[in-house]
Amino acid sequence: MKRNSFGLLMVAVLVLTLALPAVAAKGQRVVMISPYGKGAPFDSLAYEGLENAARDFNLEIKLVEARDRTEYESQLQAMAELGYDVVIALHDYFGEPMKMVAPYYPKTKFVLVDSQITGDTENMLSVAMEPQEGCYLAGIAAANATQTKKIGFIGGLDHPIIIQFLAGFEAGLRSVDPDITIYTAFSGVFDDPVKGREMGLAMIDRGVDVVMHAADYTGVGVLKAAAERDIWGVGVDLDQSDVAPGHVLISALKDASGAVYETMRMVVQGEYRPGLMIYGIKEGASLIAIPKDLPFYAENPHVLEQIEAARERIEAGEIEVPKTTKTR
């Protein structure tokens, strides 16, 4: 009787063990390398996605800051040497260094976030969050909010990825009012909110009453300038309504959190593939954050209707948002 009970117990244990998900075992070790750290909006959002994945998939995670570009290659190499299963790096800057390092560590999975640079290896994946779709929807809100028909855009660099923000925003504006004038400027840096504020104030002096940024931490200063002069600001990457309460009309999301989470899900579930992955609306990306307590939307409910209609048309493929523009 005892022998039979023991046998039944062992069968039950075996069945339970087989039924448990693979992530219940020892988690993989993942490191994220950031040039700006958690103080920068985009980088904070990306790490938030990794934290969420760590919770759900039993990962051991670490964040490393690497501010000196001359050390990017050595940082990637050092993390691989330390035995991390997955090495994630943020932004284009790490593209070429990662292409150099990845072939020497075939057992390590490398992930480049916010870039379309790909390596010729079986262990490097680039994940791009194309921002033009969310910016298009933000442009619809901005076009409805402007009184002067003068709208500003401040980017970090005149770079193809930043131009995608501008192109989508411009297309959204034009879909509502083709006669709007767009003023553009580029800060040259992504981590200087003081410069962002100065540039924002200078642009407001030109008559703009809505200003969007695509300049990461520099853009925090742009939104502060908007609040200072009592105009609308448009945030990016994450919900930035808390940066300038009552003055952030809408935020165009570049869903880094969702992209990193989805990438780690793929790794854990054996779906990791090298090459390029575009994470957009069809992949489940969140596009915008709207502060619904703003009086503007209560007074103009048709704006929310226009935004939702456009979102549905983008998802259905009826609107193809441009990635380029000649506007500078």
Quote the pLDDT of residue 1. Answer: 39
What is the spatial distance between Cα 260 and Cα 114, in angstroms, rounded to a whole number? Answer: 10
Q: Give the containing element (helix H, strand E) for 183.
A: strand 181-186
Model confidence at 4: pLDDT above 70: no
Same domain, 143 and 205: yes
pLDDT tens column, 92-150: 999 999 999 999 999 999 999 999 999 999 999 999 988 999 999 999 999 999 999 99
Over pLDDT 90: what percentage of the chain? 81
Same domain, 44 and 183: no
Tell me, yes or no, whether 193 and 297 share the same domain: yes
**Residue 218 predicted with pLDDT over 80:** yes
Mean pLDDT of 19-37: 72
What interhelical angle do 160-176 and 132-145 show, nearest 10?
40
Range of the domain at 232: 132-254+292-315
Query: What pLDDT does residue 285 have?
Result: 87
Chain centre to alpha carbon of residue 98: 20
pTM confidence score? 0.74
Question: Taking 80 as the threshold, does the pLDDT of residue 24 lie above it?
Answer: no
The per-residue pLDDT for 293 is 87
In a domain, 322, yes or no: no
Instruction: Please determine, for residue 17, whether its predicted confidence score (pLDDT) is greater than 50.
Output: no
**Which pLDDT band, with edges at 50, 70 and 90, does 18 fall under?**
very low
Total number of domains constituting the chain: 2
Q: Exposed, middle or buried, 203 (CB in 10 Å: 0-12/13-18/19+)? A: buried
pLDDT of residue 142: 98
- For residues 118 and 266, state if they share a domain: yes
Q: Are residues 102 and 61 in the same domain?
A: yes
Has residue 6 been placed in a domain?
A: no
User: Is 326 part of any domain?
Assistant: no
User: Residue 303 domain-assigned?
Assistant: yes
pLDDT of residue 27: 83
Q: How confident is residue 263, by pLDDT bands cut at 50, 70 and 90?
A: very high
Q: Is 325 part of a structural domain of the chain? A: no
Q: What is residue 286's predicted lDDT score, i.e. its pLDDT?
A: 85
pLDDT value of position 38: 78
Residues 306 and 193 placed together within one structural domain of the fold: yes
Q: Are residues 239 and 302 in the same domain?
A: yes
Do residues 222 and 244 share a domain? yes
Dist. CA 327–CA 182, nearest whole Å: 8
**How does the average pLDDT of the chain come out, rounded?**
91
- Please report the pLDDT score of residue 101 as a whole number: 98
Give the integer Cα–Cα distance in Å for 303 and 244: 21
